[in-house]
Structure 1
Amino acid sequence: MPETHLEFEKPIVELRKKLQELQELSENNQLDLSNEINSLTERMNQTMKEIYSKLTPWQRVQLARHPERPYTLDYIDHLFTNFIELSGDRRFRDDKAIVGGFAKFQGKPVMVIGTQKGRDMKSNVYRNFGWPSPEGYRKAMRLMQLADKADVPIITLIDTPGAFPGISSEERHIAEAIAVNLRDMFALRVPVISVIIGEGGSGGAIGIGVGNRVLIMENAYYSVITPEGCAAILWKDRKFAPQAADALQLTAEKLLELGIADAIIPEPFGGAQRDHEQAAKLLGEVLAKQLSELRKLSGSKLREQRYEKFRSMGRFIEGALPAPGEQESPEAAAPEGDAAKEAVE
């Protein structure tokens, strides 16, 4: 697959191209261009620092969707041993958008479950572009209950824009499948750690995301809706996705501040796509620490903690409803511009 560059990375790409041309000129013509090469290298490094240290929420969403970013199976390859994939929901079929099975993490057994995308058209069709179907969530719940019986911790890796919204999903009760997972994950008596490694979109993410710890990668996002979906509702146009990303407060820093995420997992400079091995190492360090803490708790304490964690999320504001005569028309009530951002906030 050719290397992918995002729009905001173009200044870096141009400088890297000039640096490569300068190095080739030096080698091919026996010229000493070390001063020029060092100067250009310093300029490129400074540009990278300026860009990656001031990423907007929309740019982080773009990084979360980067096609070269490590996916669930990449992390399984780097972090886990003796992985045995388990398939099927025992009702309809096996959903390839969710993978899972027993494995060992640092020599101890765990159940690892995650959403999986593809890297080209063929594998994306096979994985349904990372959009799980009802049977995927039922498979995930079957594996979690199996882990509960075996007294094995559960690690879920989340990277999905959302649950598959097609007619076939509705026919097989996608909402019920997610709702059952939410209910039954609260009953598990083993440690559950959920990690957003890329996209964390809506019910598609939380369907395997009810954890004692919710961790998020530095450039991942977690939101009730994708920025495009939010823009289509508020502004009737997906081109306002960057503004929606600002309003949704979906970045790792905001989620930690709001108490949704428990910890942020750092990524290699420029994003996890630049170094899969280092990204996995950083994830593994945080997983080990969190698992060590959770393994000390009893089953009843784990259930209680998980329940209290999610019950404490959100803020409620009480206020009087407008009088019948004061009710605005739908057209007048529709937010636009900055008002839409304030409405979301």
Structure 2
Amino acid sequence: MEYLDFELPIKELEEQLAKCESLGKESNVDVTATHNQIQQKLEDTKKNIYQNLSAWQRVQLSRHPDRPYTLDYIKALCGDTFLELFGDRGVKDDKAMIGGLGKIGDQSFMIIGQQKGTNTKTRQYRNFGMANPEGYRKALRLMRMAEKFGIPVVTLIDTPGAYPGLEAEERGQGEAIARNIFEMFRIQVPIITIIIGEGASGGALGIGVGDKVFMLENTWYSVISPESCSSILWRSWEHKERAAEALKLTSFDMKQNNLVDDIIPEPLGGAHYDRETTFNTVKEYILSSYAMLSKIPMERLRAERIEKYSKMGVFNE
């Protein structure tokens, strides 16, 4: 288990607890009272830290290396029923964008999402979860396929942004993202979107138009990352914590501003502390949302989708 800077008090108490348990096993000394005392202090410390997280600390948790990624969710939700589909039928297959058919419970879904790597080699292979234009075109191809066969769509967002390289711009990065946003309003099947990690800029919006949009508790969703915002405003990354607060990018900020429909709770400490609970909670949200959306006539669902996004940013003084 890796610990972030603000989690170091937890690390120290867990090490003390492990030493106490080891001492009790290796000797005849009764350490029950000490063990219970440390255990209680550990629980209190966890609650104090995780219930009072700053915006920047939630950004750090969303990037935790032990946090489950898109393929982890797909494996947990679909098991062996997932069939990955490849290619945009134009340039190539983008490894940063995963997509395919799978069953969650008894219902088939087209599942699409960005995939980060788990080590240096796979991060390079997946381009750190930053999709090229062909990734977004693959996603749109799969959504149209789902529409053709009446299969609902689930998108899982976890990206630091679309790939900003020269070759991506040459192949139409901006157009590909804009096309996806436009076409997702017209797709005639229910779309459920979940931010499972980072939701940065157009890279997230390219698969982010949904009838229901959820954020896991310790994720963020914004037009720009705190570091990039800090570098633009203050010419330095040193003010990233201040930028994170100003951007109002946490799940609670987004829910308060009516930009997402609901917050999916995470286990104390984050999704990586109890993956099974996280997967089960996400599964419940997907199935309950689909049960509700499937009862709405398609023309009305599309109209409500458009109206939902049209209202964003509108306010009265």
TM range (shorter): over 0.9
1-structure distance, mates of 2:165, 2:107:
39
Q: Which residue of 1 aligns with 2:283?
A: 284
Pairwise CA distance, 1:100 = 0.6
Pairwise CA distance, 1:305 = 1.0
2:66 paired residue among 53, 57, 68: 68
| Aligned counterparts, 1:92-131, within 5 A | 92-131=91-130
Q: Given the two structures, how large is their TM-score scaled by the length of structure 2?
A: 0.98
Does the 8 A contact of 2:56 with 2:244 survive in 1?
yes
1:196-252 CA-partner distances (Å, limit 9, x unpaired): 000000100010000011110010110010010111111111111111110011111
SS in 2 for 1:183: helix
Q: Which residue of 2 aligns with 1:134?
A: 133
1:40 paired residue among 28, 35, 38: 38
2-structure distance, mates of 1:108, 1:35:
50
1:38-90 CA-partner distances (Å, limit 9, x unpaired): 11111111111100110111100001001111111111111124111000000
| Aligned counterparts, 1:292-311, within 5 A | 292-311=291-310
Amino acid at match of 1:41: Q
Pairwise CA distance, 1:298 = 1.6
Amino acid at match of 1:87: F
SS in 2 for 1:216: strand
2:53 paired residue among 52, 55, 58: 55
2-structure distance, mates of 1:11, 1:105:
39
1-structure distance, mates of 2:104, 2:181:
25
1:264-285 CA-partner distances (Å, limit 9, x unpaired): 1011111001121111001111
How many residue pairs get aligned? The number is 316
Q: Which residue of 1 aligns with 2:266?
A: 267
Pairwise CA distance, 1:4 = 1.1
Q: Which residue of 1 aligns with 2:24?
A: 26
In the alignment, is residue 78 of structure 1 matched against residue 76 of structure 2? Answer: yes
Amino acid at match of 2:304: Q
Pairwise CA distance, 1:158 = 0.3
1-structure distance, mates of 2:56, 2:8:
16
1:72-122 CA-partner distances (Å, limit 9, x unpaired): 111111112411100000000000101011111111111010100001000
Q: Which residue of 1 aligns with 2:229?
A: 230
Amino acid at match of 1:245: A
2-structure distance, mates of 1:168, 1:133:
9
Pairwise CA distance, 1:316 = 5.9
2-structure distance, mates of 1:60, 1:315:
27
Amino acid at match of 2:16: K
The structure having more radius of gyration, on CA atoms, is 1
Amino acid at match of 1:224: V
Change (3 A) 1:109 1:266: same
Change (3 A) 1:236 1:317: farther
Runs of 4+ in 1 over 2 A off after TM superposition: 315-318
Amino acid at match of 2:273: R
Could you tell me which runs of 5 or more consecutive residues in structure 1 were left unpaired when the two chains were aligned. 319-345
1-structure distance, mates of 2:100, 2:298:
21
SS in 2 for 1:157: strand
What percentage of aligned pairs have identical amino acids?
48
